[in-house]
């Protein structure tokens, strides 16, 4: 059931995600637990602070996604929710493909998701 508080509904997806810039400025590996066109939830024991910006990358269903993100909320000891801030067109198309496939539906490509870098 869609969450009325969210602009983009989440889908469950468990895969390895690599982050850089958070965790004291070091790269870290964690698990991506859910995903939407607007962001994701990352599970890890050590969580960054809300507002912290970082880069992330993951591969799922044959698509590579790299994005700049910002931490929006944390659950200490469990993980954090982040919002995608920027990604190139290829990553945006990959993200769209992953979410569409996991939802089992065709979704037209949103116009303002990608920023050309």
Instruction: Give me the domain span that covers residue 34.
Output: 11-103
Q: Is residue 83 part of a domain?
A: yes
User: pLDDT digits over 3-46, tens only?
Assistant: 555 566 788 889 999 998 755 555 778 999 999 999 999 998 88
Q: Is residue 109 part of a domain?
A: no
Q: Is residue 1 part of a domain?
A: no
Q: Which of 55, 64, 58, 72 is nearest to 6 (CA)?
A: 72
Q: Is residue 113 part of a domain?
A: no
Contacts of 35 (CB under 8 A, 6+ apart): 10, 11, 13, 60, 95, 98, 99, 102
Average pLDDT of the segment spanning 75-98: 94
Q: Is residue 117 part of a domain?
A: no
**Polymer length of the chain:** 117
- pLDDT score recorded for residue 5: 57
User: What are the distances in angstroms from CA 43 to CA 14, 29, 35, 48, 84?
Assistant: 10, 10, 12, 11, 16
The H helix count followed by the E strand count for the chain is 1, 6
- pLDDT score recorded for residue 9: 75
- pLDDT score recorded for residue 114: 46
Q: Does pTM surpass 0.85? A: no
């Amino acid at each position: 059931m869609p969450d009325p508080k969210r602009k983009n509904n989440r889908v469950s997806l468990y895969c390895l995600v690599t982050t850089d810039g958070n965790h004291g400025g070091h790269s870290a590996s964690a698990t991506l637990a859910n995903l939407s066109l607007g962001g994701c939830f990352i599970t890890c024991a050590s969580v960054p602070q809300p507002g912290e910006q970082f880069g992330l990358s993951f591969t799922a269903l044959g698509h590579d996604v790299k994005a700049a993100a910002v931490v929006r909320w944390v659950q200490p000891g469990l993980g954090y929710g982040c919002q995608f801030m920027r990604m190139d067109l290829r990553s945006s198309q990959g993200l769209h493909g992953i979410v569409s496939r996991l939802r089992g539906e065709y979704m037209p490509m949103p116009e303002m998701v990608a920023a050309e870098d």
